[in-house]
Structures are given as C-alpha cells and as structure tokens.
Structure 1
C-alpha cells in the first residue's frame, strides 16, 4: 500500500499525521475464518447498508452506537434502518445477529468498559470503520476529535483484536484539480493544505494515519467512495446530501439556475457497500486501496433533465436570480448553504480511476449501476414517500409565483 506523508503540511495539522507508537503490526486473519465483525457508523447512511450486506454474508455484527443506555442505542439503530427501509421485504435486516454496544469512537477504549472492550476484542476478526461527522461548514479543528483522534482509537482496537481494519475514506482526499490525469487508487493524495474543506482535510489526515499503520504491518484496507447517493434499486437516500438539498431548493422555488457549474461523481450506496464487503471477504482484497466511483460525473444540466423527466416543472433563470429567490425564503433547503454553493463554482472537479477496484471485482457480479431515469425516479419516489419532496405536479412542487 504505497503512500508517503508529505514533508510540508499546514501547521494546523502537522502534528496530527504522526501515528501513536503503540500501534504495531500483526498477521491478518484469513477472511474466510472470520465470523464476527465490528462496525462503526451503523446509524449513518452508508453504515446501514454495510450492516445489511455484512449480515447477508452470514456474519455476526457488533455495532458501536452512541446512546444514554443500551435500549436507546438499539432504538437509534432500529430507527435508522427503518428510515432507509431496511427492516422489511427482501432487504430486511436480521436483528438477531446484531449486537449493539453503547459507546463512542471519540472516547478512550471507544467508550466501553474495560471488560467489555476485552471481550469484544477477543471475538471479532474484522473492523469496519464508517463512522464520520460529515459537515462541510465546520473547520478542521472542530472535526479533529471525531475524525482524527477516533482513528487512533479504532486502530488500537483493531490491534487489540488482531483484526483487519476496513477504513472508509473519501475521494475528497485528492486535490480538486482537473488539469491532472484521473486519480487512481495508488496515486498520491493531498497535500492536505490544498484541500479547501475542514471535512476533507480531516479525512486526509485520518487516511495518513491508517496508511502509516499499514506500513507498520497492521492489516488495513482503504475505501474511497465518491459522492454517495441512494440505493439504485429501492431509492433509499439521505436527504441532507448537498446535491439533494440543491434539488429540493430548486423544487421549492420552482426555478433552476441556468448554466450553473455543478459536477460531481455520484455513486449508489448499494454499490459502495457491496465493494467494501466484497473486498473484505476476498482472499486477495486485504491491504488494498479501492475507489467506489461512477464512470462519469453528473452535471447540472443532466440533473435538470432528470427532474423534468420526473415531472417537475422548473423555470431556468440566472444564477443570481435563483440565489435571490432562495435567500428570500428562510425555509428553503439551500438557504443555509448558499456560501458553499458560491464556492462550489470555483472548485475544479477531479476525475478518478478505479482500475484496481474493477480488477478485484472481476467475476464477482458487482458493478456500478447507472444513475439513469429509472434510478433517479426511484430516488424521487422514496423522498415523496417520506415527505421530503412534494409529488411532481402537487401543490408546492412548482414553487412560488414567478416574478
């Protein structure tokens, strides 16, 4: 797993890329011998689908969940699974093989009592770390504890358990520049000071720690998803995703910004989860770096076409007129994020390669679904079912009177 920590990083996090001395290597257990696994982030979006797919593998999954007590923690997990429609139908999660532990990745020993920590470490053979505090408005220093310090804690637990670590990072660790070739799995990331968001900086630092642990012999695998969108089959999606807030904001005012520069690599959550689990169970998958990305990017013009195809009537207006209409409505989904919207037009869009990942998946039956009219329609139907979006043609679906 080739990677080097840059010699010059921003003073803000220069000391944070230093891995603690007590994190040392050990032999990895063979994936086929692992029956119990540990999962963080199960009350998040990707984590819910990881839980489903790990259970599909016949594994017993031990989940770390914040809560006042075990009952509250388990209810948080159940509520999250219900939100993403993972408790019924073909996707129903078997809760009999799910064990919930009240804890916190930011605390010593993950917030677990010493005896529970030791007992759990003696059972699990793999650790899946998907917990993350995703906030594009927050400075690095406010994410340091939840993202960087917690990575030390997760690595220490993996060492105590002598378990392989599967770490979820992001393609955001690459400098966002279009004038470079498509970034592959083994290409250098950062540098950290070139990343504009506190969130991506914190994820870059965390990844440096994981890669240093790998060099010391800790069996770790790194996964870098693009912008994670909904399940390509059920439509289950997270409403607070930046692009969906942009879409909802446009529907709320019945207008769409003309020639708006929005371009992102969107990838369905079911594909991201399938790659992570498949790689973790593959005899040759351990120790690699994998990209979960779509073959192409989703541009603003394509989003408008898909919205109109779904039945929403949206008038194209100038970006300034659109922003003025959003700002005039404090309830608009995009009102708090207008500053990010302005900055997003200035950011170059990096391109990504996933040649290594596709090579590993060959013959597995796992491939990235297209975000086409059918998949997009499924997302719309899901949000309408859950009251996030008005149905196309319904009152409130075409915005206020045009001026």
Structure 2
C-alpha cells in the first residue's frame, strides 16, 4: 500500500492543532506532513511535542506562496507520490489585511496547493477550508452551490477567499475536492477553549469595559442580522467526517448554525452570562459607524474594530441543506448558541486579562 501521507497547511493554528490528532485517529495507517513557514517551525514542533504526535506528525518547512510550496524538487516529488489527502487551512484571516498580502497568501497560495494536488498520483481528496463570507455583501439567503453573483465585498479577506474558491472550484473536475465554508468560529462548545479573543469576543470586551467602568452596557446598532457563529468543535467534527466519507467529494458545505439567532439575541445572552443584566442603551448604527474613528467611542465599545462590527448588521442567511443532510448521516450537528454561551463566557472570564489571548489588532 505504501506510505499514506496527509499534507496539512495551517498548523499550528487553533483548528489545525485540534484537527490533526482526529485525522490520525480516523486513519491509523496515515501520517501527517505539516507544511509550516520557517518562522513558525519552532512553535510547530513545540505544539507537535505537546500533542505527543512526533512519530506521526512531521514538520516540513515550506511556503505556500512559493512555487513547489517552497520545497526542493526531490521533496516535492516524494510528497506528491505519498500524499493521499490534502487539508488546506492556511490563510490570512485578518479582516484589515492589505490586498497584496491577502492575494499572495489566500489566492496564490491556494493555486500552489492546487498545483500540488494535480501532481499527486494517489490523491483521494483535497479538503479546502473556505469561508461563508465568500458571499461578500450579498443579502438574503445564500445557497451552498452559490459563489459568483456579482457581489461586492466588505474587505480584502472576503474578496481574496472568494478568488481562491473560484480557483478551487475550477479544479474540481480533475481534483476530488470538498469545500468547507465555516462562519465565524468561536471556542469549543463544551469547554469554551479558544486561542484569541477576537471576532465575537469583542462583544465581551464591550460588556467587560462597561462593567469595569460601572457604566451602562451599550449595544452598537440594532444588531438584527442573523449571527453566523459556529463553535470550533463542530467545524473540526465536520471536516473529519467529510474527509472520511466518499460522498462528500464534490460538495461545498456551509458550516454554520442552520437556525442562527440574531446578533442582538447573542449579545443579550452574553450580557446576561457576563454581567447579569441586559444592554441598557442602543446606539444607532450610523452614529457608531461614523464615530468609530474617535478614540472615546472605540474605548466605549471595548476596542472593537469597525471591520468586526459591520458583520453584526449584515442581513444574510447561509443555507445548510447539504451540510445538514450529509453530516446528519453521521450524527454531526451544529449546537445552538444557547448550549455554548455559558462555556464561552466562562473561559473568557478565566483569561480576560491574559495578554496571550489578545487579538493581533
């Protein structure tokens, strides 16, 4: 049968560090080669050691933005002969990322991964992690089969992930592929464990700031849009399940809550869990949006960047028909927010002053 290698990008990221052990459990004959940019190799080896996977997890220095993934010809050829699955998670997720960097990592990097997939002689699946936000500024219901609809985008993260998915879609006739589109990922639904307090955690920062100042909790806008948040354990379970089932090949799956609560409902639940009271004051979104350049307003909202706030008032719903059907066959479901707000807040409370959890921006 020969060596069974899973090529993995995105390690030692939060999802990658949790996903790799489960992939190895699901395929006892496989090993993982994690392609890691040189500056992260030491950290990756440390995390691999903590996972106890040294014998089955190899850290391979490389660069998805370079031809042949930054590998010498012999290594590239050997990996192409041994690789049976590719998991491509590496991307720039920063909502304020400059265009040139986003294009190089998200678009050119994905094209280089596709080129590697085409060179693989035994490839069973390319598992590509996209995002629900390739839909950009579309409103209403977005289907899993949808991609290009003339939409504009809120930032370069969205536009370059869209461009990358266009490339992946174009390769699917020759490369067996599953595309996963998560929403906004938060911590584990049971333990609350996460890696950074960004995204929805800025809402907790807003609540925290008000509690510490002994001032009313402010709500930024109506926040009436569905909030497409999803716990990391569901995303991981979905990818492990999809990678092991041939029926998932050729599918694009929205990994979001099929029945999302509104952003205001989530905010009220976070307020209740953290502060024991609801928000006392709603600021009109137009006023918030125009005032975010002012330091006092940013301080009032716990340092929340505009790039994150605009998602709270964007009216879009992501259909999950195929994900619900295929994952349901395996008993995998997205837990409702009511099940994990408690653990999410408890973990935040435990680590809210730990600089290790501070967002990059």
Normalised to the residue count of structure 2, the TM-score between the two structures is: 0.83
In 1, Cα distance between equivalents of 2:155 and 2:144: 21
Inter-CA distance 76–247: structure 2 relative to 1 (3 Å threshold): same
Name whichever of 280-289 and 312-321 sits farther off: 312-321
Per the alignment, residue 66 of structure 1 pairs with 37
* Corresponding position: 1:380 with 2:345: yes
Aligned length: 340
Cα displacement string for residues 211-267 of structure 1 (whole angstroms, at most 9, x for unaligned residues): 11113x222221111111111122112324321123213312334324723342111
Name the SS for the 1:335 alignment partner: coil
Inter-CA distance 316–138: structure 2 relative to 1 (3 Å threshold): same
Per the alignment, residue 307 of structure 1 pairs with 270
8 Å contact from structure 1 (residues 65, 101) kept in 2: yes
8 Å contact from structure 2 (residues 207, 275) kept in 1: no
In 2, Cα distance between equivalents of 1:389 and 1:371: 25
Unaligned 5+ runs, structure 1? 1-31, 391-403
Name the SS for the 1:211 alignment partner: helix
* Corresponding position: 1:239 with 2:193: no
Match of 2:217 among 256, 262, 267: 256
Inter-CA distance 300–342: structure 2 relative to 1 (3 Å threshold): closer
Name whichever of 118-127 and 302-311 sits farther off: 302-311
Name the SS for the 1:290 alignment partner: strand
8 Å contact from structure 1 (residues 36, 60) kept in 2: yes
Match of 1:317 among 281, 284, 295: 281
Inter-CA distance 330–299: structure 2 relative to 1 (3 Å threshold): closer
Per the alignment, residue 145 of structure 2 pairs with 186
How do 1:141-160 and structure 2 match up within 5 A? 141-160=100-119
Cα displacement string for residues 328-374 of structure 1 (whole angstroms, at most 9, x for unaligned residues): 3887884361x3366456x53211111112222233121111221x5
* Corresponding position: 1:277 with 2:240: yes
How do 1:3-402 and structure 2 match up within 5 A? 35-57=4-26, 58=28, 59-68=30-39, 73-76=41-44, 78-79=46-47, 87=50, 94-162=53-121, 163=123, 164-178=125-139, 180=140, 182-191=141-150, 194-215=152-173, 217-254=174-211, 255-258=216-219, 260-262=221-223, 263=225, 264-312=227-275, 316-319=280-283, 327-328=295-296, 334-335=302-303, 337=305, 339-340=306-307, 343-344=310-311, 348-372=314-338, 374-388=339-353
8 Å contact from structure 1 (residues 55, 93) kept in 2: no
In 2, Cα distance between equivalents of 1:360 and 1:101: 33
8 Å contact from structure 1 (residues 55, 94) kept in 2: no
Unaligned 5+ runs, structure 2? 356-361
Per the alignment, residue 358 of structure 2 pairs with none
In 2, Cα distance between equivalents of 1:51 and 1:112: 22
The Cα RMSD (Å) is 3.1
Cα displacement string for residues 109-140 of structure 1 (whole angstroms, at most 9, x for unaligned residues): 11222222222222110100011101211343
In 2, Cα distance between equivalents of 1:297 and 1:33: 45
Larger fraction in helix? 2
CA shift for structure 1 position 199: 0.6
